[in-house]
A and B are shown apart, each in its own frame.
Chain A
Amino acid sequence: DTAVSQTPKYLVTQMGNDKSIKCEQNLGHDTMYWYKQDSKKFLKIMFSYNNKELIINETVPNRFSPKSPDKAHLNLHINSLELGDSAVYFCASSPSNGGKTQYFGPGTRLLVL
């Protein structure tokens, strides 16, 4: 019954590795987002997808690539992980592109060693 789910919940990996975080929503929403929350708890948007199309791509390194196989999924793939990538990554969804309440997943804690 989880509305927005993310896997894994925790991810510990070595610098230089490639990893993916998955997000799924069963709310029937059109728009999905990825946010990064840094050590100071500041939440910043990374990507926004509306009906599988990229709407927002904030200034994030090319090593981050979102993939939306369908409207209910938005995965985040990260290449060549760096120490600074350590953070909590939140997925969210909303009924339309902006202006509506966003529902968040539980977050994925990424630690790069």
Chain B
Amino acid sequence: SQELEQSPQSLIVQEGKNLTINCTSSKTLYGLYWYKQKYGEGLIFLMMLQKGGEEKSHEKITAKLDEKKQQSSLHITASQPSHAGIYLCGADNANDMRFGAGTRLTVKP
């Protein structure tokens, strides 16, 4: 089955700083999803990437898919405390979705 590795595992940044989270797959990526989980809450769908080179943005969050590298990156510009949470990448795996272990983001005011 497909394995997803996220890096870093945790990240602490000062408010206003930019940051990047990476998600690397052990297999070819056919669909890559990014979710955000606020502490103690459910998962919120952020965006989905399907094509190599595809880039999508949602407010100050941008995600890219590098099909050749089997990797996706999530970039947050000018981070805010509201960006804090756990970011999970998920990928299509036959009949279900597999997730990475998550990246815990803390934004210090």
- On A, residues with C-beta under 8 Å from B are 33, 40-45, 48, 55-56, 90, 92, 97-99, 101-107, 109
Contacts and interface: CB of A to CB of B under 8 A. Distances in A.
A55 B102 contact: no
A55 B94 CA distance: 11
Q: Give the contact-size bracket for chain B.
A: 20 to 34
Nearest to B88: A43
Interface of B: 30-31, 33, 35, 37, 40-45, 48, 86, 88, 90, 92-99, 101-102, 104
Contacts, number: 57
B88 A98 contact: no
Contacts of A48: 95-96
B109 to A, nearest CB: 23
19 contacts: A41-B37, A41-B86, A41-B101, A41-B102, A42-B99, A42-B102, A43-B43, A45-B97, A45-B98, A48-B95, A48-B96, A55-B95, A98-B92, A99-B30, A101-B48, A102-B45, A103-B45, A106-B41, A106-B42
A106 to B, nearest CB: 4
B21 to A, nearest CB: 14
